[in-house]
Structure 1
Amino acid sequence: MDWLERTAQLRQWTRSGVRAPHKPLLLLYALGRFQQDDDDELRYSAVEEDLKRLLAEYGPPHKTTPAYPFHHLVSDGVWEVRTAHGPGSPGSGVRELRAAEAAGRLAPELRRALRRQPSLLGRMARVLLDLHFPPSLHSELCEAVGLELELAETEPLPAGRQQRDRRMRELVLTAYEYQCAFCGYDGRIGAVPVGLEAAHVRWWAFGGPDDVDNGLCLCSLHHKLLDKGVLGVGDGHRVLVSQRFVGQSPAAREHVTALAGRPLIGPQAGVRPVAAAHRSWHTSQVFQGTPRPANAA
């Protein structure tokens, strides 16, 4: 059985690029727990709060419940659920799972495969990370689910999956003249830029192309905040700052809240700015809540 292909083909509700990372997050969490204790069973009532936090931090902006993937991941052949009455999930409702004392864990065949081939766990995790989350979040997401991986190694994507264009970084940094489009940071050591990255506005994992009009040159801080939904790009190519962001220090005000409403820095003349379709996707699928008014800074 090709567990990597099965991992890549988790059945999810998708429409027009809508994010639904519920199953990938649960499977990453289960892999992390298996790595710590390969006989561990995850009682729903005991892991519900962990899963809620993962969905709140790495899931879509709208509210969701961990009961949905706990029940539905069974259909993908990688997960099983048991209750006090025997095998099988009682349903996708929180009350049903709690009342039945439901517990889940990786499917028996998958557990055996992971014990025979320990490297499979890391390869499955990298497929999940690459297909559902931007690279800027991979390390912290592994830490959040308790996974210890060597993320420098990359797993070839399954057949038919488009590979990334490695030229994008240089094209985007050149387009924005090697300065952060949000704050203007342009640090170098000699001729080498330091702390500048090419960010996808529409994530590559959700059909975002490796094109300059889907990219921004950002410093490491603002790249992370873009991918976490704290920052965005609105109409008129002005910076959006989420009202959910809280920071009282002068540094937080200067580097985040003061950006609200500012025009982007760049790109240089003749280069296409971020396309409206990519800005719209990020605003609906990643940006958290409502933007601050420009004068809130």
Structure 2
Amino acid sequence: MSVKKPDYYHKKFSKLRLDRVPNRWQANTNHCAPYKPFLLLAMMDLIAQAQITTNVIELNADLIDAFDLYWIKVMGKDKQRNPVLPFYHLKSDGFWHLHALSGMEQALATSSKIHTYKQFYSVIKGATLDEELYTLVQDAQERDKLRQILIETYFSPETRPILVEVGTITAQSFEYSRELVHRSRGTFTLQEAPELDQRYMAESRTAGFRQVIVKTYHQTCAVCKIRIVTPEGFTAVEAAHIVPWNISHNDDPRNGLALCGFHHWAFDKGLIGITPDYNILISPVVPTNDPATRALRALHEHKMLLPDDELLYPHEKALKWHYAKKYREEVPSHLL
């Protein structure tokens, strides 16, 4: 069998099998369905950042997030996005090979349509590329060439700079997350200079901080210890700053906590505090005569969940600042 050369894949990427139904797709995508180009761009972004290191492509949270960013920036939030569709249908383009879960080979072989996450994760393990293509995308110049082909073939001239920006946001977010872990090994300060991270785009900083915090706490709320992860990798927790970013400009992981949505809100509003020895405090403002608040009040003086790495523990200075400036230690007189 002859070895497939770069030109073969350049042509493949320029002639993807796409939905081209008139009036269904906008001029900014050259009236073509953008699902496959977005997924391939997202995949190459993750390869560039060493988030995909073997020839096994999984539909995980990183790939979905990268795909979603392209979709939202170009198509907006209102038009439904679904990375399952291109992941499944890329099999028709000759270089993308689906692999079934053990025992589901026949189900995959006979399937004609998989379009929901439930269907996908019950049948498909992942995909591999042609070995020649996988080798090709390890090279930065070749990867950029394939990106250029996708961008120039399937998107209008006005849209192309947006796609370049999305790739930059993704690359910077992973770079920033690595820098934050390195920063956690140094001296902690309550406030960083606002210009310190200006070399990163704001969206990249937000995403990078979230990546570090969610990973550090194993996708678990530091207060209630709830951990819910959907099959595609989405989690119930958010990345919270102890000293708010608009005050501290500090994304040091030691100024962060992973919190579920409710406890993030309660922490920001001063209904929850954490002592320097990592005990949870519940403000007396929380009503004691309401059964609905019992679960929150029961957390009082419990230990918070701590990271595995002691160097990533919340810093005492940040916790003391939050206690002094945000925590509601007393009940206001008008509530008595």
Could you say which structure has the larger radius of gyration? 2
Mark yes or no: TM-score above 0.5: no
> If the length of structure 1 is used for normalisation, what is the TM-score?
0.42
- Which structure carries more helix by proportion? 2
- For CA contacts below 8 A with separation 6 or more, give which structure has more relative contact order: 1
